[in-house]
Amino acid sequence: MQTTTPSTVPNTIPSSQKAVRIHQFGGPEVLVYEDAPVPTIQADEVLVKIHAASVNPVDWKVREGYLKDMLPHRLPLILGWDFAGEIVAVGSAVQGWKLGDAVYARPDIARDGSYAEFIAVRASEIAAKPSKANWQQAAAVPLAALTAWQSLIEGAAVQAGERVLVHAGAGGVGSFAIQLAKSRGAYVITTTSSKNVDLVKSLGADEVIDYTQQDFSQLRDIDVVFDTLGGEIQDKSWQTLKQGGRLISIISMPSEQQAASIGGKALFCFVQPNAQQLNELAKMIDADQLKIVIDSVFPLTDVIGAHAKSATGRAVGKIVIQVA
């Protein structure tokens, strides 16, 4: 593709960078910390110096090759689709952004990601970093919070007074889902393990199901189930819904037949970049209406360790990668 000479390019941008790439699909061992070219930008893009990125389950699913038929990735590939950083170059057609602006985003997942010192990203996909969040906190927000927003607010259209069941409320997506459902005036029930009961209550959960001691499938009259786990959990969730209820999943498309049996809806969400929603999330963060939960921070040199932690499914909140 023909590159466009940026309108603003400082002389301090190197030609190479440190990045974590995969040259083939496979286990954690395919993650390679190495030198890679600094990306060039198109007219509608900005170049961002990344300060922090974060890990999401989709990262290791891409690494394993599970999504290779769905996403047009080319190898070698930089994984990671969350970041916070500052703009260091601006494409000639970009308006409203300047060098030094602090931004955050969930960029296009079909392109190289954020386990790197720099990323080229469409200006339409970035938003101003929340001023009350540091780099690590800001990097922990985009993919997970947009997933919760697009699932509950857009997809399921949660309304005030509705009973919402959020599975895995202490996880990266779940922790934002509890708060966003509460912000819409919902009564929020969530599942978690014993050690995270206090955490999910602090995020606003009205009722907590400790899955080590209780069976969530005994619940009834739920308006919306947010499935972040899939499999048996998704299957058992149908019996908790009232007539006309909605089940939205980020793992797999729920059964249309089951939805029809209760006159309800089966919904699936695969998160998309959305700068306007990131702006709304930033406002909530700066107004102390949205808490950011960080499980752990790994250096860029130890993405393998970060993936191992993510793959356990036991992270509390988000796993962050410190880049610079």
CATH number of the CATH domain containing 96: 3.90.180.10
Number of independent structural domains in the chain: 2
pTM, entire model: 0.94
Beta strands in 106-206 (DSSP E): 118-122, 126-128, 163-166, 187-192
pLDDT in tens, 161-198: 999 999 999 999 999 999 999 999 999 999 999 999 99
Q: Are residues 105 and 163 in the same domain?
A: no
pLDDT in tens, 36-79: 999 999 999 999 999 999 999 999 999 999 999 999 999 999 99
CA atoms 281, 287, 292, 297: torsion sign: positive
**108 pLDDT higher than 50:** yes
Residue 149 falls inside a structural domain: yes
**4 pLDDT higher than 60:** no
User: What is the token pair recorded at 114?
Assistant: 């954020």
Q: Are residues 227 and 308 in the same domain?
A: no
State the SS3 of 218-285: HCCCEEEEEECCCHHHHHHHHHHEEEEEEEEECCCCCCHHHHHHCCCEEEECCCCCCHHHHHHHHHHH
Residue 8 falls inside a structural domain: no
Q: Are residues 195 and 245 in the same domain?
A: yes
Q: Are residues 209 and 190 in the same domain?
A: yes
Q: Are residues 62 and 118 in the same domain?
A: yes
- Under the banding of pLDDT at 50, 70 and 90, the label for residue 5 is very low
Q: Are residues 157 and 62 in the same domain?
A: no
Taking Cα atoms as reference points, which of 239, 244, 248 lies closest to residue 266? 248
Domain of 20? 16-141+293-322
Taking Cα atoms as reference points, which of 134, 88, 85, 79 lies closest to residue 105? 85
**Rounded average pLDDT over 130-140:** 98
The DSSP element (H or E) to which 25 belongs, if any, is none
